[in-house]
Structures are given as structure tokens and as C-alpha cells.
Amino acid sequence: MSLFDKTELRLTGVYLLRNKLSLAGGAIVAAYLALTVVVTLTGKFLLPYDPYVQNFAQTLLPPNSAHFFGTDDLGRDIFSRVIAGAPIEAQIAFVVVLISLAFGGSLGAFAGYLGGMAEELLMRITDVFLSFPALVLAMAVAIAIGPGLTNSMMALLVVWWPWYARIARGEALAIKNSQYMEAAHAAGLRDVQIVVRHVLPNILMPLLVYATLDISNVILTGSILSFIGLGAQPPQPEWGRMVFDGQDYLSGAWWMSVLPALAIFVVVLAFSLFGDGLRDAFDPKLRRR
């Protein structure tokens, strides 16, 4: 299915509107992305409090009308820090997913179309990466290059691209011997031209559907890296790091960890629901049923 088929896109939109769970997930995703854009463009000016300023006269305040999510052990407003952390989570997710999609998808498309040694070499390389749990391998890479937000994204990139290469390779194999590919051969197009003009546009949709589902995995894995000290470092308001900072106060100040964790849960669930609906919408069998 081509991404640029208007009829298919229209039918997909109709299906998504009828899927209530996917619609709810899409609404939350849209709100999250809008919030991310607004916070990125305006900085901290629209936040109730400066997410970095400490106020030791108001430490560990429970949620109230002045501080919706309470304050942390340094007197910082948790609601402001959660909102300020939204662009950081989006940055991690979209940088990792988009680069993995572009790099892994291109490699897989060329390998699947060309076959031979190129395909065999790519499959053996991806076998090595996929033989380890993604989180464990990302932790190993992050330890090797050191903690930090940028380094954690680099660690995730090292781990994430093979999945897209596998999917692209399989999709390229499925259309390799189709009639329009034979017509492109007969027209005298070179291999690179065929891959760019015909293979990539026709395998892009399944890759994008997988990427939508995968955003939630990246957010969750990036939060885990920050939680164990390998991701964002203080005073950055990253959600996983905020959960870690509040773990020593769970008995008396539960809001320090629970509310940032709730933000992770809601965003991850929203992307998962929307991705599930998108996947089903592009399945012709499910759509007919």
C-alpha cells in the first residue's frame, strides 16, 4: 500500500474515526504534541513557576491550588517540571525513531531489493543486535559512552535501527517481483532509481505504522535510562529522572514519583492506542470486517 494513495488514506481516516480507543489515543497524542510545541516555542514563560528555581521554604508540599502536583524536596513546582519535561521526552522519541526509520529503512530496502551478499550481510549484523534485549544493550552502550541526554539518545540509536532494517527488508522482498517493478526494469531504470522511486514509497506506510507504535517504546526505554542515572542529568526535568528523585520520599511525598510516572503512563498508552488503531486501519482484512 502506497502512502500516497488518496483512496486508501480516506478509508483509513474513516476507520480511525470509528475506532474509539484509537481516537482517544490520537486526541491525547495531539494534545501532547501541541503542548510540546508551545513549551518549546515559549520556553518557561507560560509555566506557573520556573522549573529550575529552588525554594526551600516550600519543600515537599502536597498537591494544592497553588501547586497542582505539589513540590519536590528542593521546593520546585512539580507540575511546571512535568510540563517542561514534555519536549525532552518528545525529543528523545522522535530523534531516535526518525533517524532509525531513515537509516534502517533505507538499508533494509536496498538489501531486500538487491539480495545476495548485501542482504546476507545486513541480516547477520541485525542478528547480532537483536540477539540482546534492547534495554540491556542500550544500557551497555550508555555506560560505555557516559551518562547524559545526548549520549542516551545515541545509545538508543545504536540499538533501535535494526528493527526498521528487518521490516523494510521484508516489505522490499514482498514487492520485489511485482509487475510495476518489472516495468521499471524494462524502462531501463537503475537499481538506485528503482529503490528510491518505487520501493521506498511502497514500504513507507508499514514503517510509519511501526514507528508510531515504537514511539511509546522509546519513551519508556529512555525514561528507564534516566531513572538509573544514564540519561538526563539534574536539574533537567526529565520524567524518568523525576521518578528516581522521588523514590526516597514515596512514604511521605508520593507525588514526587507517582505524578511524573503517571505522565509517562498516559503518553505511552496514548501512542500505543493510536498506533494499534493505525495498524488495524491499514490492514485490508480488518477494515473489510
Residues 107-128: tens digit of each pLDDT: 999 998 888 888 899 889 999 9
Looking at residue 73, what is its pLDDT?
94
Has residue 282 got a pLDDT over 70?
A: yes
If we measure between CA atoms, which residue out of 71, 58, 167 comes closest to residue 122?
Answer: 167
**180 or 199, higher pLDDT:** 199
Residues 245, 79, 27: CA angle, nearest 5 degrees: 115
pLDDT, mean of residues 243-270: 95
Q: What is the pLDDT of residue 253?
A: 94
Where residue 3 falls among pLDDT bands split at 50, 70, 90? low
Contact 257, 247 (CB under 8 A): yes
Residue 289: band (very low, low, confident or very high) from pLDDT cuts 50, 70, 90: low
What is the model's pLDDT at position 222? 95
64: alpha, beta or left, given left = phi > 0 and alpha = psi -120 to 50?
beta
Is 64 part of any domain?
A: no
Whether 274 shows a pLDDT value over 80: the answer reads yes
Containing structural domain, residue 181: 1-8+90-289
Q: Which of 14-18, 132-136, 211-215, 257-261 has the highest mean pLDDT?
A: 257-261
Reported confidence tier of residue 6, pLDDT bands at 50, 70, 90: low
Mean pLDDT (whole number) for 247-271: 95
* pTM over cut 0.85: yes
Longest dimension (CA), the chain: 77
289 located within any domain: yes
Whether 46 is covered by a domain: the verdict is: no
Q: What angle do CA 221, 222, 224 make, to 5 degrees?
A: 65
pLDDT of residue 288: 60
> Residue 188: what pLDDT?
74
User: Is the residue at 16 inside a domain?
Assistant: no
Only one residue has cell 525554594, namely 55
Residue 72 maps to a domain? no
Average pLDDT score over residue span 95-114: 94
**Mean pLDDT for all residues in the chain:** 89
> Is residue 37 domain-resident?
no
Q: Are 205 and 3 in contact (CB under 8 A)?
A: yes
Number of domains the chain is built from: 1
Indicate whether 190 pLDDT > 90.
Answer: no
Query: What whole-number distance in Å separates Cα of residue 152 and Cα of residue 225?
Result: 7
**More confident site: 158 or 8:** 158
Region of poorest pLDDT, from 27-31, 120-124, 186-190: 186-190
Identify the CATH number of the domain in which residue 231 sits. Answer: 1.10.3720.10
Distance between CA 237 and CA 88 in Å, rounded?
Answer: 8
State residue 4's pLDDT score: 52
Residue % of the chain over a pLDDT of 70:
94
